Amino acid sequence: MPLLKEFSHAFVHALKNLLPIVVVVVFFQLVVLRQMPDGATSMVIGLLIVAVGVALFLQGLELSIFPVGKSLSNQFARRGSVLILLSFGFAIGFSAVVAEPALIAVAQQAQEISEGRIDALTLRLLVAASVGLVVALGVFRTIFGYPLHWFMIIGYATVVFVTWFAPEEIVGLAYDSGGVTTNIVTVPLIAALGIGLATSIRGRNPLMDGFGLVALAVMVPMISVQLYGIFVYSTTPSEAELLMGHAQDEKIPSGLIVMVLDLLEMIRDVLPIILTILFFQYLVLKRPLANPRKVILGFGMVIIGLYAFVVGLKLGLFPIGTSMAEQLIGLDAYGFIYLFAFMIGFATTMAEPALIAVGQQAEQAANGRINGSAIRILVALGVAVGISIGVHRIIVGGSMHYYIMGGYTLVILLTFLSPRYIVALAYDLGGVTTSEVTVPLVTALGIGLATNIEGRNVLIDGFGLIAFASIFPIVTVMIYAIVMEWYGKRQSLTKTE
């Protein structure tokens, strides 16, 4: 049966993505810690459930959302209506992010840690609306050919400015929310929309004009979530919020009822994408779906896969991150924590399928100016360095404000110095580094460190690692492009002499 064969391929692929995490964790357990964590069996079962969930989810996307989304993009581009394209950009951006597994995981963690003061659903709706608006803005930029670097410079200058005024409880979460918006659902859809538009519009360059939508989708949620934090933390928490927080503590998940409720929640999460596609397909284009049975089956697989993924997170990836943090702190040798952070960052990024895909697309669009393999290594190195610096901040207790503001000030400076062809790609690469597997593990590691290091606040210090994983790949790729351009000019001068 072809469908079963494709699922088995997707399952093996998901296991390969988990393999780097397993190798690094097993190495540390056997060589460094010389002990196995409590509940190792449930963690292994959790990882297998994550793999099944990711495989079902990806297979469902291939059957439903991806082909229908790409078909709609092509039809709207041919019709040439700017208003319809902008509306479609907003709807796709919003609906895809609302159902993003990594964002769901981070939002739930934030609600629990803040005791209900930060509402998970509000946070997700805010981030999704921000991405929808920014995808519409990116479509507008591609249509009219405005240069991306001015959008990015003004945008990140605004990010840094808002960070100065944002309460420290929200800064790490805000940057993490930006980092997790572009993952398993959004990257292929948004990238296909941008490159498709740039290819179909005369005078546009696929490398300079096609990339950049992902980068914008990372940036704007950082601003909106910080503004949300300024509002939330400038007011006294209401009685309802506090009750919600206590209810969260008292809730004991058990039995069939909770499983059914969780599954209904997953359906609610995916429903916006389904409604968006049906609305544009039947009411705007006024055409039926090409293969409705296949699409319905795909949506069913997406929902079940998402449910299995979240269950697997609770059993596997969250406990691994927390357990490793506790065990490494127990050694009282922080060097091993830095090494673990670096190895996890590098290994998981090298296996990231979205990064491999974007690297290949960039190599084709750049006509030999970019090497896809070199880009992957540079991005993985940037993620490894970024997570290590983020771990260092948690250990020493430095303010997130200064690290983030310093990081993005460096990014803005490099944007001025970098060759124009690399800018959009570099920003996009910063957004595709954190996968549906990496994000929960890294988030749990940060929360575990903040919980176990004396004097740290979990909400203030526990979040932010994903943000560092998004900043430093931009830095490494831009430095690479600057050095390569300088080297090329030097070689040309040498030949002329």
CA 320/CA 423 separation, integer angstroms: 36
CA 359/CA 425 separation, integer angstroms: 9
pTM attached to this predicted model = 0.73
pLDDT band at 255 (very low <50, low <70, confident <90, very high): low
Token readout for 378 is 């540079």
CA distances from 14 to 11, 47, 308, 437 (A): 5, 10, 13, 9
∠ Cα 219 222 227 (to 5°): 135
CB 120 within 8 A of CB 108: yes
Supply the Cα-derived Rg of the chain in whole angstroms: 22
**pLDDT value of residue 181:** 72
Please give the mean pLDDT across all residues of the chain: 78
The structural domains of the chain, with segments of one domain joined by +, span 2-496
CA 13/CA 312 separation, integer angstroms: 17
Q: Could you give the 3-state DSSP secondary structure of residue 397?
A: coil
CA dihedral over 437, 340, 346, 21, signed as positive or negative: negative
Question: One-letter amino acid identity for 209?
Answer: D
* pLDDT tens by residue, 362-373: 676 666 667 777
State yes or no: pLDDT of 286 exceeds 50: yes
Close Cβ partners of 261 (under 8 Å, ≥ 6 residues apart)? none
Token readout for 225 is 């979530």
* pLDDT tens by residue, 168-186: 888 888 877 777 776 655 6
**pLDDT value of residue 366:** 63
CA distances from 151 to 137, 217, 359 (A): 10, 12, 23
Burial (CB < 10 A; 0-12, 13-18, 19+), residue 307, is: buried
Q: How far apart are the first and last CA of the chain?
A: 65
CA 219/CA 70 separation, integer angstroms: 24
pLDDT band at 239 (very low <50, low <70, confident <90, very high): very low
Of 154, 140, 269, 272, which Cα lies nearest the Cα of 223?
Answer: 154
State yes or no: pLDDT of 240 exceeds 60: no
* pLDDT tens by residue, 445-483: 888 888 888 888 887 888 888 888 888 998 998 998 898
178-212 burial code (b ≥16 CB/10 A, e <16): bbbbbbbbbbbbbbbbbbbbbeebeebbbbbbbbb
Where residue 212 falls (left for φ over 0; alpha for ψ -120 to 50; beta otherwise) is left
CB 405 within 8 A of CB 153: no
Burial (CB < 10 A; 0-12, 13-18, 19+), residue 164, is: exposed
State yes or no: pLDDT of 244 exceeds 60: no
State yes or no: pLDDT of 248 exceeds 60: no
Token readout for 261 is 């409720």
DSSP string, 199-268: HHSTT--IIIIIS-HHHHHHHHHHHHHHHHHHHHHTSPPPHHHHHHHHHHHH----HHHHHHHHHHHHHH
* pLDDT tens by residue, 70-94: 677 667 767 767 788 888 888 878 8
Q: How many CB atoms lie within 10 A of CB 475?
A: 20
CA 416/CA 436 separation, integer angstroms: 32
Close Cβ partners of 417 (under 8 Å, ≥ 6 residues apart)? 478, 482
CA dihedral over 379, 96, 319, 115, signed as positive or negative: positive
CB 430 within 8 A of CB 471: yes
Q: How many CB atoms lie within 10 A of CB 401?
A: 16
CA 32/CA 221 separation, integer angstroms: 39
CA 328/CA 335 separation, integer angstroms: 9
State yes or no: pLDDT of 388 exceeds 90: yes
State yes or no: pLDDT of 61 exceeds 80: no
Question: One-letter amino acid identity for 213?
Answer: L
Which carries the bigger pLDDT value, residue 159 or residue 197? Answer: 159
